[in-house]
Amino acid sequence: MITIRRAAPDDAATVHALIHGLAGHQDQAWAVTVSVDDLRRLLAHPEVGYLIAERNGQAVGYVSWLQRVSFWSGQDYLHLDDLYVTGAERGNGVGEQLMRAIAEAADGKVIRWEVAEANVHAHRFYTRIGATLVPKKIGRWQPK
């Protein structure tokens, strides 16, 4: 049985391991620079949401988000940062349970996220649960 719970600052080491799991799965382990101490601090912020899925007390996935405001609508929304399920648990409904849990946390607010065009498995998953995928390019800029 899967249980889903909100992460607390004391879960920072578990969160760190899950983030590294996702980054490794995406061949982007090099991009993770956050420390356990950084995560402990971030998990204490009220606008940060992080749910951990567990089976028999072992973390098997997570969904994370930030609460934001849209200047177009004037409404708060949740920006889903990551959804990740460990390899052994993929296809067992954990991702859908995590998405249903974030929907409950959203309390009627819109949930928005980005998904890579090449990630066809994610496209199929999100479409299956009823999400609308809108083509969009994501810009990144880090001025020096």
pLDDT tens per residue, range 9-39: 999 999 999 999 999 999 999 999 999 999 9
The 3-state DSSP class for residue 56 equals coil
Parallel, antiparallel or unpaired: strands 48-55 and 2-6: antiparallel
Q: Are 133 and 123 in contact (CB under 8 A)?
A: yes
Output the CA–CA distances (angstroms, integers) from residue 25 to 20, 28, 58, 87, 95, in the order listed: 8, 8, 19, 9, 15
pLDDT in tens, 85-127: 999 999 999 999 999 999 999 999 999 999 888 889 999 999 9
Alpha carbons 98 and 71: distance in angstroms, whole number:
28
The 3-state DSSP class for residue 120 equals helix
Output the CA–CA distances (angstroms, integers) from residue 1 to 4, 23, 29, 50, in the order listed: 10, 26, 30, 20
Specify the pTM. 0.90
